[in-house]
Structure 1
Amino acid sequence: MESLLVSTGVVALAEIGDKTQLLAFILAARFKKPLPIICGILAATIVNHGLAGALGAWITALLSPDMLRWILGISFIAMAVWTLIPDKIEDEETRIASKLGVFGATLVTFFLAEMGDKTQIATVALAAHYAAPLMVVAGTTLGMLIADVPAVFVGDKLSSRIPMRLVHSIAAAVFACLGVATLLGAGSGLGL
């Protein structure tokens, strides 16, 4: 249960102000159809984070517990630093073929925008850390929805009222704590 709750919280915080949340704002403003946008976000996140969770599980099986602990600890600390760097969305990510429809456009753009994004990397690291990829993927997907669904409904009105620097600082602190705890041996009972 810890893997689900931590994954949900970390990704929900990390997603605030992230480029995929900005993409949710843009898609909502452009299409004004929240349900297919939310369904596209959900489908893209399940596939993307499912692959990331599988990669995390594979890494766990591949590396020795000591090496995994160091790599994960450093990765979480790097995620803390990366979280403090604001994201910008690129125009190419919002250009969508009209043939795909709202759901298809959201699915494709979200999947591509999430490739190599901090929440995808966090999913890999969390799945490796907890050795519970399904719970981590469920948590990271829930975290994405917690951050992005309100963005679809309230758009730019909400983003201007959220203290992004504070939210990013809290997310960075959580990642840093996970990194330090991992380096100090937290989770060693899990075989890490």
Structure 2
Amino acid sequence: MEAFLVSTGIVALAEMGDKTQLLSLVLAARFRKPWPIVLGILVATLANHALAGAVGSWVQAQLGPQVLRWVLGLSFIAMAVWMLIPDKLDEDDQPSAASRLGVFGTTLVAFFLAEMGDKTQIATVALAAQYKAWAAVVAGTTLGMMIANAPVVWFGDRLVKKVPIRVVHLVSAAIFAVLGMVALMGWG
């Protein structure tokens, strides 16, 4: 349960102002069909985070406990620093309104690709390695992604303007830093 709850909270916070949250806003503005967009985000996230969780489980199995402790600790501290760098949506990440894939397909592909190498994907790898609970971590990170992105699809611009993104990033960075220190000290 701890792996699920920590994964949900970390990703929900880490997603605020993230590139994929901006992509959700763009998709909602372009297509104005929230259900296929939300479903596309869910399927893309499940696929992406299932793969990331599998990588985390593999890493955990390959490294000894001492090496893993240092890798995880330094990874979480690096994530804390990364949280302080605001994301922006690249021109290449914006979906084409004339896509042949439809709203669901466009969302699925765009979201899956945008999530590659993203903070939340890297966090999923680290969390799966730390907790040794692939299913709980993937379920938690997916729920966190949906908590952060689904409201953006429905409420869009109004919601994004009311959330103090800088404060959310600082809180996320602090949580990642604490997780990093806990891992380095061997408390977790």
TM-score (norm 2): 0.98
Q: Which moved more, 1:92-101 or 1:102-111?
A: 92-101
Q: Which moved more, 1:36-45 or 1:151-160?
A: 151-160
Q: 2:9 corresponds to which residue? A: 9
Structure 1 residue runs of 4 or more that deviate by more than 6 Å after TM superposition: none
Work out the CA distance in 1 between the residues paired with 2:137 and 2:150.
Answer: 19
Q: 1:110 corresponds to which residue? A: 111
Following superposition, the deviation at residue 136 of structure 1 comes to 0.2
Q: 2:133 corresponds to which residue? A: 132
Q: 1:66 corresponds to which residue? A: 66
Work out the CA distance in 2 between the residues paired with 1:156 and 1:65.
Answer: 45
Aligned alpha-carbon RMSD (Å): 0.7
Following superposition, the deviation at residue 45 of structure 1 comes to 0.2
Following superposition, the deviation at residue 98 of structure 1 comes to 1.5
AA in 2 matched with 1:55: V
AA in 2 matched with 1:106: T
AA in 1 matched with 2:34: P
Work out the CA distance in 2 between the residues paired with 1:163 and 1:60.
Answer: 35
Q: 1:121 corresponds to which residue? A: 122
Q: 1:190 corresponds to which residue? A: none
Matches for 1:145-164 after TM superposition, within 5 Å: 145-164=146-165
Q: How many residues align?
A: 187
Q: 1:178 corresponds to which residue? A: 179
Following superposition, the deviation at residue 95 of structure 1 comes to 3.1
Q: Is residue 27–residue 95 contact of structure 2 (8 Å, CA) maintained in 1? A: no
Q: What are the superposed Cα offsets for residues 55-90 of structure 1, whole Å, 9 maximum, x if unpaired?
A: 000000000000000000000000000011000001
AA in 2 matched with 1:58: W
Following superposition, the deviation at residue 22 of structure 1 comes to 0.3
Work out the CA distance in 2 between the residues paired with 1:74 and 1:121.
Answer: 12
AA in 1 matched with 2:90: E
Gaps of 5+ in 1: 188-192
Q: 1:34 corresponds to which residue? A: 34
SS of the residue corresponding to residue 88 of structure 1 reads: coil
Q: What are the superposed Cα offsets for residues 80-134 of structure 1, whole Å, 9 maximum, x if unpaired?
A: 0001100000121113352100000000000000000000000000000000011
Work out the CA distance in 2 between the residues paired with 1:95 and 1:21.
Answer: 14
Work out the CA distance in 2 between the residues paired with 1:124 and 1:82.
Answer: 15
AA in 2 matched with 1:72: L
Following superposition, the deviation at residue 186 of structure 1 comes to 2.1
Query: Are 2:86 and 1:86 equivalent residues in the alignment?
Result: yes
